[in-house]
Amino acid sequence: MGEIVKRLRDGKAVLGGWTLTGHPAVAEIMAEAGFDFIGVDLEHTDISLADVHRCALAAKGTACDVLARLPSCDPVLAKRVMDLGAAGIIVPSVNSAEEAARAVAMALFPPEGSRGASLCRATGYGRRFGEYYREHNEGVAVVVMLEHRDAVRTADAILATPGITAALVGPYDLSASMGLAGRLEHPDVIAAQRSVLEACRRRGVPAGIHLVSGDPAEIRQRTEEGYRFIACGIDTLFLREGCRRALESRKG
């Protein structure tokens, strides 16, 4: 079972960061820094399956799970990233209960789902096939992203789907779908996020939020509000912020 699944089932919060570079050294640094998960972003980058493989290898032996954010609800790609060692998937733009059911099904082996079995890296190239197959459905992470106003309206139906590990609000896409792109502090955007959070509470699904800045005060605030799956920062922004601080000496 993945570490984040255990922590969430124990009622704890998990903190993770995105990698947009997909470089194994970056994944290793983030894993060893203490993140609970790394979201490898295949949706908005040129990250390849080989990069997913290398990131999974880089995090091996740590308590950090590697999750792959897919470009869409794609069962073939979902199967391949998990075969390579991803502990689960993050599925973008889930706007209906039907889409949520497909997201869960493609992550699970039969009879509960439709994922194909193989002697892949995740099974130790066959050495741990029986153990992996028996335990996978109980421990795989399936995170659905609610990031459209349509998803806010149907949140209760989406979150009633068995097998969802967490529901992650994507604030930028959500704001854009409301005609308020990037205006994350707008009252309507905040209200939409709160609506998803409340639906998660009703359905007993851990609520998630993407916090771009990784600011500790904001992370604490969101945790106190009830969010437990928190993506707090991006590798490229960590690098940019480090560069900015180093160059502050030029000012003044």
Q: Is 44 a catalytic residue?
A: yes
Phi first, then psi, for residue 47 (nearest 5°) are -60, 135
Q: Which of 23, 44, 136, 186 is catalytic?
A: 44
Task: Write out the catalytic residue numbers.
Answer: 44
